[in-house]
Structure 1
Amino acid sequence: MGKYIIHSTLRPIGSQVVNKLGMFSFLSDEPVAAKGTDSAPNPVQYLLAAVGSCMGATARDIENHEPSLEIKSFNTDVYGETTTYDDGSSKVTHITIKIKAQTNLDPVDHQTFLHEVIRMCTVHSSLEGSVPMDIEFVE
């Protein structure tokens, strides 16, 4: 079981938030049109990046445990749609994930590998059921 603690502090400029975890820190912000300073990705962009990053890390973890697997390339494009409601709240309402990967596996084992990446991806599993997602495998 993993535990993660991130400390986030709103800065006195725009919508900038400094996030600190261990020795790492990163900024999030909003576009100028949303009264931010557009100095960093917004939280939704980080959420979408977390999906792609987790899939890549999961693919590598599988490769590290499967000596016969060689990943030649692994890329994701993650698209998110948000909806703003009458009360001003908003939500990510749809995510599309496009995965393009090259491995040394035959076509059947390659597909099995891709499905295993999806199944084992922590971020995808956490969002599954809460946000509709379409996943496409790109040649």
Structure 2
Amino acid sequence: MSKVVTVSAEQPNGLVANIQMGEQRFTIDESGLEKGIDTGPTPYDYILSALGSCTVITLHMYAQRKQWPLQKAEVSLTHERIYATDCAQCDDQAAKISRIIKKLKLIGELTPEQRLRLEIIASKCPVQKTLQAGIVIQTELLPA
């Protein structure tokens, strides 16, 4: 079981979320959105960060186990919403779906075969598997 993550936001500015994970604390600040100001990471930035960090760590674990000369793994990620009409498998053509683009850079004296295998492994990190499989989220209202 994972550790408990507690998130809260309160007035007068409910667009700043305070996050606590064990002893670690940080914030997500979307208070500048209406003014077009980037005041800090958004929730989607953290999703991309989780996916990216899981990807590069998985690649290094695999390369170390195989004793391959991977010096650095880098992934750049973007998130976009696209219309379901761009997706042949979608039922609701008016809906939008999320798409994440991962651009992978591998540095090291790797053979073409090793690079290809690492590209495949990059799609097998646990966070990506979780996101692709879908998540059941259960909300329970607690007393105030």
> Under TM normalisation by the shorter chain, which class is it?
0.7 to 0.9
* 2:109 maps to 1:110: no
TM-score for both structures, normalised by structure 1: 0.72
Matched with 2:106 is 101
How many residue pairs get matched?
122
- Give the distance between the partners of 1:23 and 1:77, measured in 2 at CA: 29
Unaligned runs of 5+ in 2: 84-94, 135-144
Unaligned runs of at least 5 residues, structure 1: 85-89, 131-139
Percent sequence identity over matched residues?
22
Q: Could you say what secondary structure the match of 1:110 adopts?
A: helix
Quick one: structure 1 residues 48 and 22, their matched pair in 2 at CA, closer, same or farther if it must change by over 3 Å? same
1:69-120 superposed Cα distances (whole Å, 9 cap, x missing partner): 1222211111111369xxxxx976211111011233210122112212321x
Q: 1:16 touches 1:37 (CA, 8 Å); kept in 2? A: no
Q: Distance in 2 between matches of 1:6 and 1:92?
A: 26
Letter in 2 for 1:123: V
Residue of structure 2 in register with 1:39 after alignment: 39
| Counterpart secondary structure, 1:128 | helix
Alpha carbons 1:59, 1:117 under 8 Å: kept: yes
| AA in 2 matched with 1:116 | I
C-alpha distance in 1 between matches for 2:122 and 2:129: 11
Q: Given the two structures, how large is their TM-score scaled by the length of structure 2?
A: 0.70
> Which has the larger Rg?
2
CA distance in structure 2 between the partners assigned to 1:27 and 1:83 by the alignment? 28
CA distance in 2, matches of 1:75, 1:92: 26
Q: Over aligned residues, Cα RMSD in angstroms? A: 2.7
| 1:1-139 matched pairs, under 5 angstroms | 2-12=1-11, 13-34=13-34, 38-66=38-66, 68-82=67-81, 93-119=98-124, 121-130=125-134
